[in-house]
Chains A and B, each alone.
Chain A
């Protein structure tokens, strides 16, 4: 054995080991999105399911929204934008979480909006009925233009948009109640939420 040569060669293995070690700190399943931190792409989409809240939100916004919702009109509020479809198994899993968090923040400056992805209205409405209703409006996205703007990989995907109109957080896959509350609270406590909220 030539120990000097051996140790030089061994040192050459260090970068490879470092690379593998670096790999351990990464989660390969996380799909990056350039959106968080940037302005959320605006849209104006037709409402196909108005949302069946028992106590309707205040009349002014309800009429302003009418049958179309424009994202820019919701500036100043926290918007939870959820892409879903009736054929999507994960959407059924997260449905209850979305509904109950939406109820929790009702009238507190947090707006939930669903966007239908690659689906037709009839099965989508049937799905809402089967899931026991949806207490926030869902929009139809013909030609998936909005989904493309948001760089959707699949459904469900959820974007949380701050009062400043920037995407604060993006989540792929079913969301949980805890996660939604945590992110919404973080935005509200950042002080940018309107006084009406807290």
Chain B
């Protein structure tokens, strides 16, 4: 029953999307408000129907309805409920369904929040969203149909991929990623809408695009950080980023979206970079589709690759249409978007924004080159090569350092033109703190040049951004008798976009410094110990107390109980484990992590004697790792502050002449 509900909902959603797209285009052409309203209704209906299909799938998973192909593929009676529910995105078909649902949700939200917006922009935007929906609808009715019938109905299934049922972060990372990734369709849809309605030169669509980019960017940031955290907690190598093709695929649109968030401000304020901004939006969307193609077609070898069938060819067709259309969109509009905005002065925030865009684009190209190079090499020279971390680190560390530096200079300089005097006044303190931090870190034995640079520029940017807060709070307190905290709160509410941005900068600095510290000062210790024996790991001693095994319904767990000693005193207990799943030959580790603000103690059970007589442990001491996740949280807070409707926006909304300007409570 559930199966038919799901299949029918998807089929009707596909038909409704098709109708909606045609209605939107015809509605604009014929100037028919009824048709436009019908297309909006189609968008909502698509969302409702895909919600039904998604709920049906979750219901099928929870009730172990193995007559549904997807359930028989990832479900198992012994899997805990939580992992059963989240296996919705644990394999190909389910993740496509989830994707389509998120896309429809965004589409419905865009249409609903802008339904009173006059002109052809929103109908065309809706048509674009529906067009993308149609593609996913076709996938769901064709090669990625999660509701195929299985007969005879199996009694039990294999359960989800063990790696995906090993940590609760699997319930967080994928949905955040989809929210970020899929959300980047919205700015693109606005760009297409603006192009079709001849409004590319106006700032209206740009403002909308930036707002929605910010929403997606926030989710994408959170998703990337959560993904790093997951790989750190699950994969057992004590690292969080490996320049895996799929990590790169999520990172590239993040880079271009970051660039756009900055350059859009330049267009808003100065009317500059119109064509460039269109480029960034289009590139961001193309990169998300490229990323999806790489993940879902098995073109590149990756931990994220799903098993594939013919779906790769559908994606290829889609990506071909998108690329051709996107290139044409940009090139076809070059003339109308040519702007003559010149920089007033070299020393200005404008220049810093341009440099920021330059570096972020160079960063994107580097990552793209490294990701696609194996494919190019095989196509041209017929050889298999792999591009690893050394390439990426070598190429991107200078860019990272430069971006950190710019993050300090930008906020300190005014728009248009800064005097040397201004620059000096604002940048003296940051420069001093950078020099002091550099000297201290070298004195304390930091030898990696990029770690020193990261610390120094981190201090520079942190001081500069905090300084902006401090200056403004002090200025406010001179005119308003308020406490510091209240002054800070009112200050932020007065200009959320600016101070949210600075907060995001502070988050980036925290994350960057923590990454630099954890990789520069990481130390590893390996030893095989017998119960009762102690191994040394820097300032810690690790004693193996016991090796144990436990049978769970869906797996067998072998674990080591360890006592952590510091200066001879026990400070805690840790239990690294290794899990053996029936469905997979290789065991899946669950390293034990002891997190403290100063850093992590990370222990992985590498091997053990079957009779329990010895265990091989890898102990990794990594300073500052928790600050990576914390910094990620701060970045997202910054984005949230920037986009929530604030005092200024509310005042605007109350003004009657601006009534048609919609409120965005994203």
Q: Do A and B bind each other?
A: yes
Q: Which residues of A contact B (CB under 8 A)?
A: 1-3, 5-10, 12-14, 16-17, 19-24, 26-29, 31-32, 89-90, 93
CB-based A-B contact count at 8 angstroms: 85
| A6 with B300: CB separation less than 8 A | no
| B300 with A28: CB separation less than 8 A | yes
Min CB–CB distance B377 → chain A (angstroms): 11
| A10 with B324: CB separation less than 8 A | yes
Partner of B316, one of A3, A17, A26, A29: A17
Chain A residue nearest to B382 (CB atoms) is A32
Given A2-B335, A20-B293, A93-B585, CB of A26 within 8 Å of CB of B299: yes
| A28 with B298: CB separation less than 8 A | yes
Partner of A5, one of B324, B332, B383, B586: B332
Interface residues of A, dominant DSSP: helix
Min CB–CB distance A153 → chain B (angstroms): 12
| A24 with B384: CB separation less than 8 A | no
Given A10-B324, A13-B323, A89-B585, CB of A2 within 8 Å of CB of B334: yes
Which positions 308-329 of chain B face chain A at CB distance < 8 Å?
A: 312-313, 316, 319-320, 323-329
B375 within 8 A of A: yes
Chain A residue nearest to B297 (CB atoms) is A24
Q: A16-B323, A22-B375 are in contact. List 20 more A-B contacts (CB 8 A).
A: A2-B331, A2-B332, A5-B334, A6-B329, A9-B327, A10-B323, A10-B328, A17-B319, A17-B323, A20-B299, A20-B319, A22-B378, A23-B375, A23-B379, A24-B299, A24-B313, A26-B299, A26-B375, A32-B383, A93-B585
**Shortest 5 CB-CB distances between A and B: which pairs?**
A9-B331, A6-B332, A28-B301, A23-B299, A6-B328
Chain A residue nearest to B245 (CB atoms) is A28
| A19 with B379: CB separation less than 8 A | yes
Q: B325: which A residues are within 8 A, CB to CB?
A: 10
Chain B residue nearest to A17 (CB atoms) is B320
| B327 with A21: CB separation less than 8 A | no
Min CB–CB distance B350 → chain A (angstroms): 28
Q: B326: which A residues are within 8 A, CB to CB?
A: 13
Given A16-B323, A89-B585, CB of A5 within 8 Å of CB of B376: no
Interface residues of B, dominant DSSP: helix
- Which bucket holds chain B's interface residue count? 35 or more
B549 within 8 A of A: no
| B316 with A32: CB separation less than 8 A | no
Partner of B327, one of A13, A29, A31: A13
B195 within 8 A of A: yes
| B375 with A19: CB separation less than 8 A | yes
Taken together as a complex, chains A and B put the C-alpha atoms of A26 and B331 apart, in Å, by 32
What 1/0 flags go to B353-376 for Cβ under 8 Å of A?
A: 000000000000000000010111
Taken together as a complex, chains A and B put the C-alpha atoms of A7 and B300 apart, in Å, by 30
Given A9-B327, A13-B323, A23-B375, CB of A28 within 8 Å of CB of B332: no
Taken together as a complex, chains A and B put the C-alpha atoms of A59 and B328 apart, in Å, by 77
B513 within 8 A of A: no
Taken together as a complex, chains A and B put the C-alpha atoms of A190 and B312 apart, in Å, by 37
Given A19-B375, A19-B376, A22-B375, CB of A1 within 8 Å of CB of B300: no
| A31 with B331: CB separation less than 8 A | no
Min CB–CB distance B265 → chain A (angstroms): 27
| A19 with B328: CB separation less than 8 A | no
Taken together as a complex, chains A and B put the C-alpha atoms of A5 and B375 apart, in Å, by 29
Q: B305: which A residues are within 8 A, CB to CB?
A: 28
| A9 with B195: CB separation less than 8 A | no
Partner of A19, one of B335, B372, B585: B372
| B319 with A89: CB separation less than 8 A | no
Taken together as a complex, chains A and B put the C-alpha atoms of A19 and B320 apart, in Å, by 11
Taken together as a complex, chains A and B put the C-alpha atoms of A56 and B319 apart, in Å, by 61
Partner of B331, one of A6, A14, A17, A23: A6
| B300 with A23: CB separation less than 8 A | yes
| A1 with B195: CB separation less than 8 A | yes
Chain A residue nearest to B308 (CB atoms) is A24
Min CB–CB distance A2 → chain B (angstroms): 5
B330 within 8 A of A: yes
Task: Jot down 9 A-B pairs with beta carbons below 8 A, ordered by A.
Answer: A1-B333, A6-B332, A10-B328, A14-B324, A19-B376, A20-B375, A23-B375, A24-B313, A26-B375
Taken together as a complex, chains A and B put the C-alpha atoms of A20 and B315 apart, in Å, by 10
Q: Which of B305, B320, B330, B372 has the most CB of A within 10 A?
A: B320
| A1 with B332: CB separation less than 8 A | yes
Chain B residue nearest to A16 (CB atoms) is B323
Taken together as a complex, chains A and B put the C-alpha atoms of A136 and B334 apart, in Å, by 72
Q: B384: which A residues are within 8 A, CB to CB?
A: 31-32
Chain A residue nearest to B334 (CB atoms) is A5
Taken together as a complex, chains A and B put the C-alpha atoms of A7 and B328 apart, in Å, by 6
Q: B328: which A residues are within 8 A, CB to CB?
A: 6-7, 9-10
Given A23-B299, A24-B299, CB of A10 within 8 Å of CB of B585: no
Q: A24: which B residues are within 8 A, CB to CB?
A: 297, 299, 312-313, 316
Taken together as a complex, chains A and B put the C-alpha atoms of A22 and B297 apart, in Å, by 12
